[in-house]
Amino acid sequence: MQSPQEHLKSILLQKSVRTGTFTLASGKVSDLYVDCRVTALDPVGATLIGSIGWDLVEGEILRQFPEICAIGGMTMGADPISLAIGMTGALRKADKMLQVFTVRKEAKDHGRGRRIEGNFNSGDTVLVVDDVITTGGSTLKAIDAIEAEGGKVAAALVLVDREEGGRQAIEARGIPVFPLFSRSSLLG
């Protein structure tokens, strides 16, 4: 029987990881394409992400950063991951549950005109989430938006680190990165 980590890895490899020649959002050409949304929006994949992610949050991240009160990141990649992890903490009746929020690419031009939606308040210390990091650009944009709204980012959790400099770019800002998988752990 597979461990939850191995089961999630098999789903990622089946549904989300492709090799070939691809142009990434950064404009860079790569031999690897990872679309974690397909896995994160799969019911079994989301359940495994929630379980493995919550184990990491509760067992390591909250021990280092007990002030974290919410989890979220740039829509759309971070949304199912953040919600799955937040729901798992609630279902397990954890001592500390994390509220969930999402960061829009741009502030709305109607309503309250917010860039961050959901359960986030100025002054919150948060865990930022991303599905995949390559250069770290989208994670850094989410961090900038959170900080602009008065939040403090304690750490980052990512589903897959492509190991192409993104982790180092985020950590250069003083924000440690906790990946569930890396290119190496997925592909060997």
pLDDT of residue 81 exceeding 90: yes
User: Is the pLDDT score of 175 beyond 80?
Assistant: yes
Phi, psi of 184 (to 5 degrees): -60, -45
Quick one: pLDDT at residue 122?
A: 96
pLDDT digits (tens, 9 = 90+) for 103-124: 998 766 655 557 899 999 999 9
CATH, domain 4-187, list 3.30.470.30, 3.40.50.2020, 3.40.50.1820, 3.30.1360.30 = 3.40.50.2020
Predicted TM-score (pTM) of this structure: 0.94
